[in-house]
Amino acid sequence: MTFFLCVIGMVMILEGFPYFAFPEKIKSFILKISDTPDQTLRVVGFLLMLSGLGLVYLGKKIR
């Protein structure tokens, strides 16, 4: 459970950093995202999930 909480904390740090460091660029990025077709966002999200799953698998296997 401790490792899980550390991982969640790191994700929150990585997710929050762009909003803290570049708020004006994040706003324009969000506007561009809203113009992106749903299918494109689904494909990108799916590829990111697969990449994350692959990294978790590699991390578990190497350990």
Tokens, residue 28: 């324009």
According to the model, what pLDDT value does residue 52 have? 92
Closest CA to 7 of 55, 47, 42: 55
Give the tens place of pLDDT for each residue, 25-53: 999 999 999 999 999 999 999 999 999 99
Give the tens place of pLDDT for each residue, 1-34: 888 899 999 999 999 999 999 999 999 999 999 9
Tokens, residue 43: 């494909």
The residue ranges of every structural domain in the chain are 2-62
Q: pTM of the prediction?
A: 0.73
